[in-house]
């Protein structure tokens, strides 16, 4: 991997394993699919390429794989590129993924329709392979800088989280709750099963958090990924408890699927700790600390983060089996 790619992947404060840029290509023309796949896989940057000739399958792949960028054909049967993009922008799981529309149409109406749905760039067919590569790298770099999204989950990262909290604090009459999620025993899981499984776990958690938001939250709720196994959810005070309860219940019911049968049945894994001693770690759970301005005045994103983090640590220290949350009820 060359230096430019490393710099690109480090944008946004992500400290996980470097990975190849993952590009999803959605086009019903088999020649285009083959050509784009060949060009990108043989590039010096070593792209990872996913492809499909169907719009609906493209949406599902985008949600499950969280690509760094999507190349999307405008004219496709059953579901065209504009409709696919509308679905992508409507989901919190995929709304941050940059999209380049591939089109042979010269119609300004088509271009305007696509821009209204959230397409980020156009590339006319036929296109130059070097231009394609440059467009992809440039667009991903720009999105990492401007939206500060986490490369692993595609969720907004630290900069966007800070901006969202500041925006809510700036509204004197707005009440909100900031939920800080932390996965207990994730490090042991990551050490035991490896980084790929660890990344899989984090993507899974991001997905169930987004699904909880779509099921129980509001349109203006905010889901963010601080980094590692730390996530943020911001909502109105009347909505955070159903979200926290749902997340605890769902996490505890489904986390066993991330373990092999032996570990799942015995309820723990054995991992060497920092003192080079073999230690038993229970299956992962989630601890949640909730900071809210219902009873006290909050003045800065740092204060909100410190309160939520303090409560998250308190939840971790409780001698309770399973996932749990603690709410800040203090008035000062």
Question: How is residue 255 annotated by DSSP?
Answer: G
Give φ, ψ of 48 to 5 degrees. Answer: -95, 125
Other C-beta atoms within 10 Å of 125: how many? 14
Distance CA 25, CA 39 (A): 12
CATH for 158-327 (1.10.10.10, 3.50.50.60, 3.30.70.3280, 3.30.70.270):
3.30.70.270
Beta strand pairing status for 285-292 and 177-184? antiparallel
Tens-level pLDDT at each residue, the chain (332 residues): 344 444 443 433 333 333 578 999 999 999 999 999 999 998 888 889 999 999 999 999 998 888 889 999 988 888 989 999 999 988 877 888 899 998 875 555 556 666 677 788 888 888 888 888 888 988 887 776 666 678 788 888 887 898 889 889 988 788 999 999 999 999 999 999 999 999 999 999 999 999 999 999 988 899 999 999 999 999 999 999 999 999 999 999 999 999 999 999 999 999 987 788 899 999 999 999 999 999 999 989 999 999 999 999 999 888 788 999 999 988 87
Which residue ranges make up each domain of the chain? 3-147, 158-327
Q: What is the Rg, in whole angstroms, of the alpha carbon atoms belonging to the chain?
A: 21
Please give the helix or strand (H or E) that residue 148 lies within, else none.
Answer: none
Whether 105 and 80 have beta carbons less than 8 Å apart is answered as no
What's the pLDDT at 109? 54
Q: What is the pLDDT of residues 146-188, one digit of tens each?
A: 666 787 888 888 878 988 898 899 887 889 999 999 999 999 9
Distance CA 44, CA 279 (A): 43
Beta strand pairing status for 230-235 and 268-272? unpaired
CATH topology assigned to domain 3-147: Rossmann fold (3.40.50)
What's the pLDDT at 148? 66
Distance CA 262, CA 93 (A): 32
Q: What are the residues whose beta carbons fall under 8 Å from the beta carbon of 85, sequence distance 6 or more?
A: 72, 99, 101, 114, 117, 118, 119
Distance CA 90, CA 113 (A): 16
Whether 255 and 285 have beta carbons less than 8 Å apart is answered as yes
The token duo for 231 is 């996530």
Q: Helix count (H) and strand count (E) of the chain?
A: 12, 12
Peptide bond into 21 cis (omega under 30): no
Q: Give the residue ranges of DSSP H helices in the chain.
A: 3-10, 30-41, 55-65, 81-90, 108-117, 129-147, 158-169, 186-193, 195-216, 240-254, 261-266, 301-317
């Amino acid at each position: 991997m060359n230096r430019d790619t490393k710099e690109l992947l480090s944008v946004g404060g992500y400290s996980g394993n470097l990975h190849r840029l993952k590009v999803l290509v959605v086009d019903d023309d088999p020649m285009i699919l083959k050509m784009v796949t060949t060009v990108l896989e043989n590039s010096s940057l070593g792209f990872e390429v996913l492809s499909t000739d169907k719009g609906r399958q493209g949406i599902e792949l985008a949600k499950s794989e969280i690509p760094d960028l999507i190349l999307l054909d405008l004219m496709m049967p059953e579901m065209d590129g504009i409709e696919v993009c509308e679905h992508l922008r409507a989901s919190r799981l995929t709304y941050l993924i940059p999209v380049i529309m591939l089109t042979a149409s010269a119609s300004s109406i088509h271009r305007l329709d696509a821009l209204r749905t959230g397409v980020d760039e156009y590339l006319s067919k036929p296109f130059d392979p070097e231009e394609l590569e440059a467009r992809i790298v440039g667009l991903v770099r720009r999105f990492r800088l401007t939206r500060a999204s986490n490369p692993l989950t595609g969720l907004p990262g630290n900069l966007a989280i800070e901006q969202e909290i500041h925006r809510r604090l700036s509204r004197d009459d707005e009440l909100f709750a900031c939920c800080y999620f932390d996965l207990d025993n994730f490090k042991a899981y990551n050490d035991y099963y490896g980084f790929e499984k660890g990344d899989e776990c984090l993507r899974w958690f991001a997905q169930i958090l987004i699904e909880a938001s779509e099921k129980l939250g509001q349109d203006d709720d905010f889901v963010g990924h601080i980094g590692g196994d730390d996530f943020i959810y911001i909502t109105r005070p009347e909505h955070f408890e159903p979200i926290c309860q749902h997340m605890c219940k769902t996490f505890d019911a489904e986390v066993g699927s991330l373990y092999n049968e032996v570990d799942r049945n015995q309820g723990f894994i054995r991992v060497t700790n920092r003192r080079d001693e073999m230690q038993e770690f229970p299956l992962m759970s989630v601890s949640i600390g909730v900071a809210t301005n219902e009873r006290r005045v909050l003045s800065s994103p740092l204060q909100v983060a410190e309160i939520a983090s303090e409560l998250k640590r308190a939840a971790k220290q409780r001698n309770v089996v399973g996932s749990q949350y603690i709410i800040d009820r203090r008035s000062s």
